[in-house]
Amino acid sequence: MITNTFTGQCQCGHVHYSVQGEAATLFVCHCTECQRQSVSAFGMALWIKHPSVQLHTGAVQEWVRVTPSGRQMACRFCPVCGTRLFHQLLGQTEFMSIKPGTLSETSTLQPVAHVWTASKQGWVEIPPQALQYEGNPPAMGVLLEAWQQAHPR
């Protein structure tokens, strides 16, 4: 079950966090930025609506990158081990994203969509029930709706 409190930590344990809010969507991004950031095949984002972040230990640092659509995204990470923890578009307070690999509980997470499949690594097979987009989805609302359909309240 997706609960309303999401707890997790960075790799070294300097940062322990909990985020309260409502899971809004979970998707996989195959863009080259996410591949580089995750030093792996893809990135994942768990969007939380109306997030309230608590750091139980440690502190986070941030750097800001400019997205392809020209918006600024704050990327927050552990200053000791570098694990990326949270992303949030500047000026966007309704949503933030948790890098879900840092969560304590990941067994119930199933992405509803895969984006930027144009740069997907060739061996990655996308489950047939997941939405797919070659680039950004036409609107994030599509991904929010797919999540709600998969997790009816």
Residue with tokens 């893809």: 42
Half-sphere exposure of 2 (CA within 13 A, CB side): 21
Which residues, 15 to 54, sit near Zn ion by CB under 5 A? Answer: 29, 31, 34
Q: Give least dist CB 30 to Zn ion, A.
A: 7
Pick the closer one to Zn ion by CB: 3 or 11. 11
Residue among 4 and 13 whose Cβ is closer to Zn ion: 13
* Total of chain residues touching Zn ion, rule CB under 5 A: 9
CA–CA dist 15, 52 (Å, integer): 16
End-to-end CA distance of the chain: 11
Say which DSSP state 105 is in: -
Contact 140, 45 (CB under 8 A): no
Residue number with CB closer to Zn ion (15 or 146): 15
Q: Binding of Zn ion at residue 10 (CB under 5 A)? A: yes
- Minimum CB distance to Zn ion, residue 83 (Å): 5
